[in-house]
Amino acid sequence: MGSTLPLETYPGKVNEVTIGSQKIVSIGGENTLPFHSFEGNVPNKPVIAYEIQDVPPDDWHETLLSAYGDVTKDPVKWAQYCEQTLKADAIAIRLVGTHPDNQNKSPEHAAQVVRDVLSGITIPLIILGSNSIEKDAQVLVSASNAAKGYNCAIGKAQEGNYKTIVAAALANNHNLIAMSELDVNLSKQLNILITQMGFDKERIIIDPMCSALGYGLEYSFSVMERIRLAALTQNDVVVQQPMLGDVGMYVWKVKEAQALQSDMPRWGDQRMRGILWEAVTAATLMLSGAELLIMRHPDAVEKIKSFIDDLI
């Protein structure tokens, strides 16, 4: 006796966002749950962006640094290495050197780095501040101006600085990353504030914040899942944007990714442990609805790409 698989249909759809100018990537566009292509249309694979930084990373673990070598000393060479050698689909540059507690680099420094990186690559660029609310309001304006015409994604716009960053993204025709702190209602509120400034809701990428495996990942999953279900099942246009999982920065600071095997022999090989920690975190966020992942270790990226292909 035959059987029919029960299928769900959803009234809502996730907006499709395109990033880049010479080469482009598109995220979102689905009208079903992650990877449920048997129930609806999933036009785009999740996109992974390799993270680079504007200054040499002095807080990255040796496992990460050894994967890149000397290119981490120059953001242009680093970006080119990701594009040409690692075959990256996109680059995410984090302007950590501008943070007041780091090197307090100027907005002009950020603009010049962005210009240099854009001149050296053809793949899309995601431009991230240092997560200093006040400083990012200056830095991301300069970076946005420097990247005019490249259709980048700029962020992260937060409740404390969104007005200036939205205005810069609007003036320079960029996409916008809007970050709220692990709360569905806060995410909705920020999206409403941004669109009230005249910014197109179909050019917003939601960053609901996330955490690493073992550090509240279940709560991150729950928030992202609720955002995606609201978009699809309730047809809530306020949260029908693609979502970002900023994986690498959260994973590689936890003790499980950093502790030496000599210190924690029962935890196994430190290098593989860190890579798997990043891969499992990324896979979990992706299954909860993240269409854009920012990652650090090339081996973790390859594992996720293989996982995506298997699911599709």
- pLDDT for 53 beyond 90: yes
What is the model's pLDDT at position 130?
Answer: 97
- Say what the pLDDT of residue 248 is: 97
pLDDT computed for residue 223 by the predictor: 97
Whether residue 3 has pLDDT greater than 90: no
**CATH code that applies to domain 16-311:** 3.20.20.20
> pTM for this structure?
0.95
- From the list 54, 171, 48, the residue with the least C-alpha distance to 118 is 54
Domain boundaries, the chain: 16-311
Find the helix packing angle between 162-172 and 184-196, rounded to 10°.
50
pLDDT per residue as tens digits for the range 202-250? 999 999 999 999 999 999 999 999 999 999 999 999 999 999 999 999 9
Average pLDDT, rounded, for the chain: 96
What pLDDT score was predicted for residue 253? Answer: 94
Convert 26-41 to b/e letters by CB count within 10 Å (16 or more is b).
bbbbbbbbbbbeebbe
Query: What does the pLDDT read at residue 4?
Result: 80
Q: Write the pLDDT tens digit of every residue in 72-91.
A: 999 999 999 999 999 999 99
pLDDT, residue 1, reads 60
Q: What is the pLDDT of residue 283?
A: 98
CA distances from 19 to 8, 24, 25, 209 (A): 30, 6, 5, 21
